[in-house]
């Protein structure tokens, strides 16, 4: 079963991706400016055919791509993932005209996509969006004008288009949000980069009466929250795959270091306190990988519990990666804190996935909600574990 044992062709493909990432993508990543869109890197992902696979592959293949790239080049992994995150709503919900115009350019790496959901007051609580889509008055093609701010948006403000979620019905919570495809050259749309701990591009966007039309809607009016959650259900397990790739890179580096480093008359690995910690790192990494694969397979098979599985996979894998990278730094000592060391890089990268696309606490909330949502239909919901009525 692919959730637990990859086919030989999949294993070979992962090895090929790791080699491509090391040989062709990492040199481009090293030439890029941290915190800015690296267009040569994105273009190379397009030339290698990896971006087009975002629209033809299932969730498991997406996870294999993200884990394999992250193992050798986190910048390449992030560039690929952000193209997918920003463009997937167009692929899944766009009109033929929207898809024909933007998706080929995303696939060949000549157009940069972005997913604009978070706001200064609506990060984890995505249903509390304040960006207003106000009905347009007077003549002209615009049906709405977008007014407000988006923040912590990956690829902003350098993207060529944004999938933007705005409130079309005040006071309706998640049921009053609409998704729009907004080209970056729309009047009234400006932005600025943010200086963040992680090195990938993140910025804010300001909307000052940005005009949008009915042709810019993705999906249906007031149904944009479904567009957002459908995208996140696909990408959350693959965030876990990104985390697993970083954890595996940290684990591999630690095995090499502890097997070669002389200490106390032997090698570091000869110390039981060290070897047992390395074993724990390996155990947790493999457990996270299996849960990611299982969640992705559930998505591909159309299982009914995808939201719960996706949240579990993202939560376990990102928390695991934080533990593994931190432990790797500890076992390497001061050398791992030096700027430019692999683990120094991973230590800055690994923190953000525990927050974006739903913080760990949000994932716990999703899991709990899914566990309890059918209790009112369960004839045994008033019986405790001892069989006595509550």
CB 241 within 8 A of CB 80: no
pLDDT at 104: 97
Structure tokens at 177: 């949000």
d(C-alpha 97, C-alpha 118), whole Å = 27
pLDDT at 171: 86
What average pLDDT values come out for the chain (390 residues) when binned by 10 residues? 76 96 96 94 97 94 96 96 96 97 97 95 75 86 94 96 95 90 97 90 96 96 93 90 98 97 91 97 97 94 92 96 98 95 95 91 94 67 37
pLDDT at 353: 93
Q: Which residues are annotated as catalytic?
A: 357
Q: Kindly report the CATH number that applies to the domain delimited by 226-374.
A: 1.20.140.10
Cα 4-9-12 angle, rounded to 5 deg: 95
Task: Give me the architecture of the 113-221 domain, per CATH.
Answer: Beta Barrel (2.40)
Name the segment(s) of the chain with CATH classification 1.10.540.10.
8-107
Name the segment(s) of the chain with CATH classification 1.20.140.10.
226-374
Name the segment(s) of the chain with CATH classification 2.40.110.10.
113-221
d(C-alpha 250, C-alpha 347), whole Å = 10
pLDDT at 377: 56
Q: Kindly report the CATH number that applies to the domain delimited by 8-107.
A: 1.10.540.10
């Amino acid at each position: 079963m692919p959730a637990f044992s990859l086919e030989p062709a999949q294993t070979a493909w992962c090895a090929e991706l790791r080699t491509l990432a090391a040989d062709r993508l990492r040199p481009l990543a090293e030439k890029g400016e941290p915190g800015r869109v690296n267009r040569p890197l994105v273009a190379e992902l397009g030339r290698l055919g990896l971006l087009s696979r975002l629209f033809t592959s299932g969730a498991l293949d997406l996870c294999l791509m993200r884990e394999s790239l992250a193992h050798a080049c986190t910048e390449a992994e992030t560039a690929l993932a952000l193209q997918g995150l920003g463009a997937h709503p167009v692929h899944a919900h766009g009109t033929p005209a929207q898809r024909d115009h933007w998706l080929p350019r995303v696939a060949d790496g000549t157009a940069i996509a972005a997913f604009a959901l978070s706001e200064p007051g609506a990060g984890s609580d995505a249903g509390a969006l304040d960006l207003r889509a106000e009905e347009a008055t007077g003549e002209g093609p615009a049906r709405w004008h977008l007014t407000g701010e988006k923040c912590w948006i990956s690829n902003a403000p350098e993207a060529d288009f944004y999938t933007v979620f705005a409130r079309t019905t005040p006071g309706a919570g998640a049921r009053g949000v609409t998704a729009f495809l907004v080209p970056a050259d729309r009047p009234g749309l400006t932005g600025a980069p943010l200086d963040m701990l992680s090195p990938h591009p993140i910025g804010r966007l300001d909307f000052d009466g940005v005009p949008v039309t009915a042709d810019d809607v993705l999906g249906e009016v007031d149904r944009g929250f479904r567009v957002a959650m459908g995208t996140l259900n696909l990408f959350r397990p693959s965030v876990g795959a990104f985390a697993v790739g970083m954890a595996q890179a940290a684990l591999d580096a630690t095995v090499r270091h502890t097997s070669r480093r002389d200490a106390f008359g032997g090698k570091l690995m000869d110390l039981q306190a060290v070897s047992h910690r390395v074993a724990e790192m390996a155990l947790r990494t493999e457990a996270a990988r299996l849960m990611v694969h299982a969640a992705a397979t559930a998505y591909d098979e159309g299982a009914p519990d995808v939201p719960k599985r996706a949240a579990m996979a993202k939560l376990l894998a990102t928390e695991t990666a934080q533990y593994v990278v931190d432990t790797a730094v500890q076992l390497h000592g001061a050398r791992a804190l030096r700027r430019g060391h692999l683990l120094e890089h991973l230590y800055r990268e690994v923190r953000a996935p525990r927050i974006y696309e739903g913080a760990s606490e949000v994932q716990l909330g999703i899991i709990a909600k899914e566990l309890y949502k059918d209790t009112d239909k369960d004839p045994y919901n008033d019986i405790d574990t001892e069989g006595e009525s509550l």
